Amino acid sequence: MCGKVMWICKSWAMEMGINIGAGTCAGCGTLIHMTLNAETQEMDLERYEDYIPGGKSSV
């Protein structure tokens, strides 16, 4: 992403153990995939098109 620092709160689903989510970068608008790192209680982020199998989405 663009390097913007974002503060992300866990969703109710993450509180229940579903430790993934999606959103957009507040700085550049890139669609991102978020995975909760349970040890650090921080989100690991990656571009969504790098996360999905086969590359870019056709949606």
pLDDT of 56 > 90? The answer is no
Task: Give the domain extent around 18.
Answer: 2-50
Residue 47's pLDDT is 92
- In whole angstroms, give the CA distance from residue 13 to residue 17: 7
Does the residue 27 lie in any domain? Answer: yes
pLDDT at 31 over 90: yes
Cβ atoms within 10 Å, residue 5? 6
In a domain, 59, yes or no: no
Question: Residue 29 has what pLDDT?
Answer: 93
Q: Is residue 10 part of a domain?
A: yes
pTM of the model as a whole = 0.70
Instruction: With respect to residue 7, please indicate whether it lies within any of the assigned structural domains.
Output: yes
40, amino acid identity: T
User: Is 56 domain-assigned?
Assistant: no
- In 3D space, the residue among 52, 49, 45, 50 whose CA is nearest the CA of residue 6 turns out to be 45
- Into how many domains does the chain fold? 1
